[in-house]
Amino acid sequence: MQNTKKCTLCPRKCGVDRSEKTGYCGVSDKIICARAALHFWEEPCISGERGSGAVFFSGCPLKCVYCQNYDIANNKAGKEITTERLAEIFTELKEKGAHNINLVTPTHYTPEIINALSIAKGRGLNIPIAYNCSGYESVNTLKTLENKVDIYITDFKYMDSALAASYSNAPNYPEVAKAALEEMMRQCGNPLFDSKGIMKKGVIVRHLLLPTQLENGKAVVKYVYEKYGDSLYISIMNQYTPTGRFEKFPELNNKVSQKEYDALVDYALSLGVENGFIQEGETANESYIPAFDCQGV
């Protein structure tokens, strides 16, 4: 198993000894968790009626300029916990009725999460484990999760490498995300649901449409659908929320227009996408950003 002594858990491969200092992700080798609670704002097959057991981790290997979870991505919120406590949190969420354990931005804590899952499963944890990530993932790290993760909920942000460089300092995002998605599909492809429509196994690919970036959105949907068809689910999201004033990227100061979003949905339908999710109504609202107040931690 990989460790954090010379960290290469994410595609940044910064090689930092995270027991001594923080990596690109902004955190050390100590688990920092900002929230652990039932979450009702995921796709219907994830949240269901009882909620998804969402565990929000601090730090992030990608750090998009428009990040919707800025406080945790930049390690400005959260509480240090042990692997043993993380295992307890998983069990507590199951006892609260969670349909699944939803690991949000987990990449940089993968070894600790694997250990915590082993402890919790030894104590009877038997609900699906969902790995909820940015899509900027190392295939080698993903391979360590085989037979431990049941569902991948992954972003696919960019097919435009210049856009990825500008917004996320990751010009290699498209090829990294393609390789990561292929590994996710190898592990968890061909979705399975229970009798109530709750996902037990599979892959959901999310694309958050950004203001003025319709062509990038179309390119993402086209690639994913033409490559994988209906063997995965595509979730097209319109909940982009401006988190501040962007002098360098003024286009990010605006919400996505209904016209832009409808155009992307219509494009997906024209390709033949059937297994998908769309958002309706006013979703670009701060109420969709949880309070990172260490609830449940």
Per-residue pLDDT tens listing for the chain (297 residues): 566 789 999 999 999 999 999 999 999 999 999 999 999 999 999 999 999 999 999 999 999 999 988 888 887 789 999 999 999 999 999 999 999 999 999 999 999 999 999 999 999 999 999 999 999 999 999 999 999 999 999 999 999 999 999 999 999 999 999 999 999 999 999 999 999 999 999 999 999 999 999 999 999 999 999 999 999 999 999 999 898 778 999 999 999 999 999 999 999 999 999 999 999 866 545 456 778 899 999
Q: How far is CA 239 from the centre of its chain?
A: 15
CA distance 65 to 167: 5
Which tokens in the block code for residue 275?
């297994």
Supply the pLDDT for residue 201. Answer: 98
Judged by DSSP in three states, 242 sits in coil
Which tokens in the block code for residue 109?
């804590």
H runs (alpha helix) in 205-272: 214-228, 258-271
Supply the pLDDT for residue 286. Answer: 46
The residue with tokens 């995965």 is 232
Cα 188-297-168 angle, rounded to 5 deg = 55
Supply the pLDDT for residue 244. Answer: 79
Q: Tell me phi and psi for residue 278, to 5 degrees.
A: -125, 165
Residue 22, number of CB atoms within 10 A of its CB: 16
Supply the pLDDT for residue 290. Answer: 78
Supply the pLDDT for residue 222. Answer: 98
Class of domain 31-288: alpha beta
Measured CA to CA in angstroms, residue 288 lies from 69, 83, 103, 210 at distances of 10, 28, 17, 16
For strands 199-208 and 151-155, give the pairing.
parallel
CA distance 273 to 276: 7
Supply the pLDDT for residue 113. Answer: 98
Q: Per-residue DSSP letters for 117-144?
A: HHHHHHTT--S-EEEEE-S---HHHHHT
Cβ neighbours of residue 32 closer than 8 Å, sequence gap 6 or more:
57, 58, 59, 75, 78, 79, 80, 81
- What residue segments make up the domains of the chain, in order of their start? 31-288
Q: What is the pTM of this model?
A: 0.95
